[in-house]
Amino acid sequence: MTDLDAPVTEDRAARTASAGSTSAGPATLRRAAPALLGYAAVRALGLLALAVWSAARDKSAYTLLTARWDSLWYTRVAELGYGYEVRLPNGDVHSNLAFFPLLPWLERLLHTTTPLSYAAAGFVVSLLASLAAAWGIFAVADHVYGPTHGRRAGVCAVLLWAVLPVGIVQSMAYSESLFTALAAWSLYAVLTGRWVTAGVLASLAGLTRPVGLAVVAAVWVAGTVSFVRERGTAAPGGRARAVRRALGLLLAPLGTAGYVLWVGHRTGGGLLGYLDVQAGWRNGFDGGYAFARFVADKFTSFPSALAGVGLVVGVALLIRLYVVCVRQGQPWPLLTYTGVVLALALCASSYFGSKPRLLLPAFPLLFPLALALVRLRTRRSALVVGGAAVAAAVYGAWWLNGSGPP
């Protein structure tokens, strides 16, 4: 068994003690300060590299972050509401109903209460949400790995999330950072038994992205496991806890269900209305068939075959990391959430260039790597993270000035 496969051996008492030190509040913020400072430094490096690269190409880094690709659709929803669509020459219809409403709502709120434009509001929301996401990732890792490795594992997990090759998306006016923040804190609430909070945050995550289903699934699985464990017991406060748990489970799907039903009513498509909207974007769920064909087509010529090998290796590494998460005994809510995120990202028939950013919310996959970094000498782990931060900054600047994150 490798260091990467080493199981998490913290007992329940240790994790409970850790949870007490990671309740959201000033004490948690002080505990998470190294992670947040490190995250801010990595993101600042990425933005600096983008500014320099863009200036050299006579482009605006600010425009690349706030006014291209999906960010334009979000700001249009914030400014004009729903109903806008584009009909392409091939007959496809791109409707802004495909974009969930929480980010545009926040953009509109910030625009109406400050001098910021809609685009600038989206950028600010993303920056603040990315910090909240980093804090949430730290809190989850700190809880999972307990008082022995928790704090260092949390710092490493946050830094690894920051130095992902497509980490620049965390600073764009996209919904990935907002969703990851809501998902991380909902999962933390589940792990610490705060069922109503978990349900509310899961509902908000469901108003942010379709993958909010992953958070709902995590809450429901955790609730079911908790119910089975407590069935037949007479623990003090059991009835009140059961009521809070039931309320959390009822609240969790309201965001996703509410928006999908509203779209169905607006389009006249009923329960399948939102799927029809996504079909107009050539998005769907085919179990990975289209993605498999896309990868297979790469092997038809030598230059593209290298990209095909890279895709196969990348998918294999993702699956390997998930298996390690299972072997290390990650809590069921994390395994459920990560599994659904992976399935929706890899098995969807959407534009394949967007898959890396669709995987950004799958942060528990980074926990085994974080634990491996914890076991290294501090100097060596700092060199690894520092090198990855420089590489990610350069790649992000090149990427946004090129094809970018569709």
In Å, how far are 26, 209, 378 from 22, measured between CA atoms?
A: 10, 27, 23
Question: Hunting for tokens 């974007």 — which residue is that?
Answer: 281
Could you write out the three-class secondary structure of the chain?
Answer: CCHHHCCCCCCHHHHHHHHHHCCCCHHHHHHHHHHHHHHHHHHHHHHHHHHHHHHHCCCCHHHHHHCCCHHHHHHHHHHHCCCCEEECCCCCEEEHHHCCCHHHHHHHHHHHHCCCCHHHHHHHHHHHHHHHHHHHHHHHHHHHHHHHHHHHHHHHHHHHHHCCCCHHHHHCCCCHHHHHHHHHHHHHHHHCCCHHHHHHHHHHHHCCCCCHHHHHHHHHHHHHHHHHHHCCCCCCCHHHHHHHHHHHHHHCCHHHHHHHHHHHHHHCCHHHHHHHHHHHCCCCECCCHHHHHHHHHHHHCHHHHHHHHHHHHHHHHHHHHHHHHHHCCCCHHHHHHHHHHHHHHHCECCCHHHHHHHCCCCHHHHHHHHHHHHCCCHHHHHHHHHHHHHHHHHHHHHHHCCCCCC
Rg (CA), the chain: 21
Q: Residues 178, 125: contact at Cβ < 8 Å? A: yes
Q: Residues 131, 36: contact at Cβ < 8 Å? A: yes
- 406 within some domain: no
Half-sphere exposure of 60 (CA within 13 A, CB side): 6
What are the pLDDT tens digits along the chain (406 aa)? 455 655 544 433 334 434 434 456 677 888 999 999 999 999 999 999 999 999 999 999 999 999 888 999 999 999 999 999 999 888 888 999 999 999 999 999 999 999 999 999 999 999 999 999 999 999 999 999 988 888 999 999 999 999 999 999 999 999 999 999 999 999 999 999 999 999 999 999 999 999 999 999 999 999 999 888 877 666 666 788 889 999 999 999 999 999 999 999 999 988 889 999 998 888 888 788 788 888 888 788 878 788 888 888 999 999 999 999 999 999 999 999 999 999 999 988 777 778 889 999 999 999 999 999 999 988 999 999 999 999 999 999 999 998 877 6
Give the whole-angstrom CA distance, residue 397 versus residue 357: 15
Question: Hunting for tokens 């999908």 — which residue is that?
Answer: 260
In one-letter notation, the amino acid at residue 110 is L
In Å, how far are 38, 77, 87, 150, 357 from 96, measured between CA atoms?
A: 36, 7, 12, 42, 19
pLDDT of residue 233: 67
Q: Residues 405, 169: contact at Cβ < 8 Å? A: yes
- 283 within some domain: yes
Report the predicted TM-score, pTM, of the whole model to 2 decimal places: 0.92
109-129: pLDDT as tens digits: 999 999 999 999 999 999 999
How many domains are there within the chain? Answer: 1
Domain ranges, residue 110: 3-400
Give the whole-angstrom CA distance, residue 366 versus residue 148: 18
**Checking phi first, is residue 83 left (phi over 0); if not, alpha (psi -120 to 50) or beta?**
left
pLDDT of residue 382: 92
pLDDT of residue 1: 47
- 66 within some domain: yes
As beta bridge partners, residue 87 has 93
- 360 within some domain: yes
